[in-house]
Amino acid sequence: MFAGAESSMKRDNLLMVADSEHDANVLYAVRMFVPDSFIYLRLNGKCHIVMSDLEIDRARKQARHCRVLSWTHYVNKLKRNRVKSPGFAPPENQGQGPRRALFPRTGT
């Protein structure tokens, strides 16, 4: 690894959607086992995870280094905004978001 590459990677934006029982990258990022897929987002060096209602309390206790957000809250917000398919939403502020993201390879 190149000098400074590791510290530079910690600042890179990163999006992962997986369960941490089968994906070592997600397990390393959140430091907890979660059997169902969830969203992990590192944006500007800060960790955010979007969890199901079943896991949200445990995530708040075990992944204190991450901001834990409710999946149900955001799905309901999208529905109130008349998004037909809450799984996919157009960006609200195009051009305002991250310019680059890393997508790690998984062992699947």
What's 59's domain CATH number? 3.40.350.10
pTM of the shown model? 0.71
Residue 66 located in a structural domain: yes
Residue 83 has a pLDDT of 76
Q: How many domains does the chain have?
A: 1
Tell me the per-residue pLDDT of 69-87, one tens digit each, with 9 for 90 and over: 999 998 888 888 887 776 5
Q: Give the DSSP per-residue string, 9-21.
A: HHHS-EEEEE-TT
* Structure-block tokens of residue 12: 């890179």
Residue 10 has a pLDDT of 63
| Structural domain span for residue 54 | 5-80
CA 107 – CA 33 distance, rounded (Å) = 17
Residue 35 located in a structural domain: yes
Residue 104's identity, in one-letter code, is: P
Residue 12 has a pLDDT of 83
Residue 98 located in a structural domain: no
Residue 44 located in a structural domain: yes
Residue 53 has a pLDDT of 94
Low-confidence ranges of the chain (pLDDT < 50): 1-6, 88-91, 93-94
